[in-house]
Structure 1
């Protein structure tokens, strides 16, 4: 046996894989894997759209994939009725950009779930993407990640 398994990407379920991929492509400045780009007409969205899409960094590293599912029960977090099970965290390097990045995400279809911007060591927002998956936008006022 040689080495360890390697994480290739994180997969998010969505009833509209293209819509969710577009949200994260724009939010994070990613690109589609060759062959996954949307057609010029935009006709591949909705329930009959693609079943699987992959986003990469501009340098070609796989980051996120999106899998089409028939139904998706949105988390009710912070209520435990439908737990979130997993969420993504994104650091905003410049603390002065945190509010702008939250507004930008909301303009693209995210919904604010919680703000903890008064936390001095790690101000953050918890948002839900268009499919309902929670994600965090956070920063470190002193430029150094908090321990833990």
Structure 2
């Protein structure tokens, strides 16, 4: 019987772990793994590692604190997607069922702090939007 490693979750690095975790928690509708929730009082919150889980408790996304990560615009080389001079090395894909929901989610993503990088909503083959999250990680929302 063949045995394979199992994918646990994707990890995003950031200098602001709570902010990034909160962005994805609200965007995707995830929740914190027990023990990773924000403090109930006004105490300092400087986590090294946060995990977001789905409603069944399965890990979906983790956020890791790093001391330094230049903003997307300062990174060399910066992604040139959708041209492929310097493509993304990785990104998160999210899906929605139809074009109306795609447009609604564009508004939600922007309201949560995402930057629109590419608008392909008019494509008949694959309507989608590409964004950068508040710390510069790319992600896409497209019609499945």
Q: Same fold (TM over 0.5)?
A: yes
What is the deviation of 1:117? 1.3
Which residue of 1 is the match for residue 15 of structure 2? 15
Normalised by the size of structure 2, how large is the TM-score? 0.86
How far 1:34 moved relative to its partner?
A: 0.4
Which has the larger displacement, 108-117 or 75-84? Answer: 75-84
The 3-state SS of whatever aligns with 2:106 is helix
Measured at CA, do residues 119 and 6 of structure 1 come closer, stay the same or move farther in structure 2, by a change above 3 Å? Answer: same
Map of 1:143 onto structure 2 = none
2:124 corresponds to 1:120? yes
Which residue number corresponds to residue 110 of structure 2? Answer: 106
Deviation of the 1:94 alpha carbon: 2.7
The question of whether the paired residues in 1 share the 8 Å contact of 2:80 and 2:86 is answered with: no
* Structure 2, unpaired ranges of 5+: none
CA apart distance, 1:70: 1.0
Extract unaligned runs of 5+ from structure 1: 141-148
Correspondence for 2:61: 64
Equivalent residues of 1:16, 1:68 under 8 A apart: yes
1:24-75 CA-to-partner distances (Å, cap 9, x unmatched) read: 0000110100000001235445xxx100000000111100000001111325
Partner residue in 2 for 1:30: 30
Q: Distance in 2 between matches of 1:135 and 1:25?
A: 14
C-alpha separation in 2, matches of 1:27 and 1:41: 24
The 1:130–1:43 alpha-carbon spacing in structure 2 relative to 1, beyond 3 Å, is: farther
Structure 1 runs of 4+ aligned residues shifted over 6 Å read 79-82
Say what the alpha-carbon RMSD is for the aligned residues.
Answer: 2.0
Distance 1:121 1:44, change over 3 A: farther
Equivalenced residue count is 137
Task: Give the TM-score taking structure 1 as reference length.
Answer: 0.84
| Structure 2 match to 1:146 | none
